[in-house]
Chain A
Amino acid sequence: MKKNTLLALASVVGTVFSIMLIVALLAFTGFFIFYQIKPSAFEGVMVRADNQEIFYEKTVSREVQSTTGPGTNKIKRTIKVGKGVEKGVAVVPLEKVHLATLVYLYLQQIISLGLLYLITREVLKVINSVQVLDTFRTGNVQSFRRIGFMCLGLSLVQWVTFFMAEGHSTFGFSIEVTPLVFMLAAFILAEIFKEGNQLYEQEQLTI
């Protein structure tokens, strides 16, 4: 009973996560298209040159009537959305970033989100099969293999860093290890489930 409750919870969390991924994918595409149409709307959006993290920073100044005497006072306020930037880190406004970089970053994110969505779908398939006590089936073996290959893809898309903007140019290569660890785990699980499937089939024909 406890097992079923946990599985049901995992299934719900997985479904919510997959919906969030679709929303993120659509929102990202929407922002990308909107930026092509109206770049001025993105004034204040900044990009870190080192890791391409995006944040919003805008300083707004307003004139207010002085309370102490005649005249006006100028108030400056900085609005910040997103993580702050440490001193010495190069920051580039979004409009200064080269289109090729934007396309590259967009494709990288879209592929990553798409792969994450597909991985979640496969995990949900496995959870559903465990819920109906259909655990050691060839379908689950294939699901784990697919998850393994998708984790490899997830790692591959993050290997190359490409960033070009006015005054900044970065081209790097680094191996993303975390998805590779998940890939190994998925392939090992696929082998375990394959073995389980063989034992199950054997058990079915044991009289």
Chain B
Amino acid sequence: MPIIVNIDVMMARRKMSLTELAERVGITMANLSVLKTGKAKAVRFSTLEAICKELDCQPGDVLEFRPE
């Protein structure tokens, strides 16, 4: 899929662990892991909003379009 999820990059920049982000965003570790590894088929705006809020970033920092 040409949409790349860069959550791990943002988490490293903010020095935040997967457990901490999952807790703050309000989703399970398993779901955050699915999102991080790019296996997710869709992201809810509410989830994206919470991730951007907790990582203090823009949606474009988390998601990237890279043509195949």
Binding site for B on A (CB under 8 A): 202, 205-207
Contact = CB atoms under 8 A, between A and B. Distances in A.
9 contacts: A202-B41, A205-B39, A205-B41, A206-B40, A207-B27, A207-B32, A207-B34, A207-B40, A207-B43
B30 to A, nearest CB: 10
A202 B44 CA distance: 12
Nearest to B5: A207
Nearest to B31: A207
Contacts of B47: 207
A205 B39 CA distance: 7
B35 interface: yes
B43 A206 contact: yes
Interface residues of B, number: 12
A206 to B, nearest CB: 4
Interface string B16-47: 00000000000100011011000111111001
Contacts of A207: 27, 31-32, 34-35, 40, 42-44, 47
A202 B32 CA distance: 16
A201 to B, nearest CB: 8
Contacts of A202: 41-42
A205 B27 CA distance: 13
A206 B45 CA distance: 11
A195 to B, nearest CB: 16
Q: Which of A202, A205, A206, A207 lies at the interface centre, i.e. has the most chain B CB atoms within 10 A of its CB?
A: A207
Nearest to A205: B41
A206 B42 CA distance: 5
A205 B42 CA distance: 7
Nearest to B40: A207
B51 to A, nearest CB: 9
Contacts of A205: 34, 39-42
Given A202-B42, A206-B40, A207-B40, 5 more contacts: A205-B34, A205-B40, A207-B34, A207-B44, A207-B47
A203 to B, nearest CB: 9
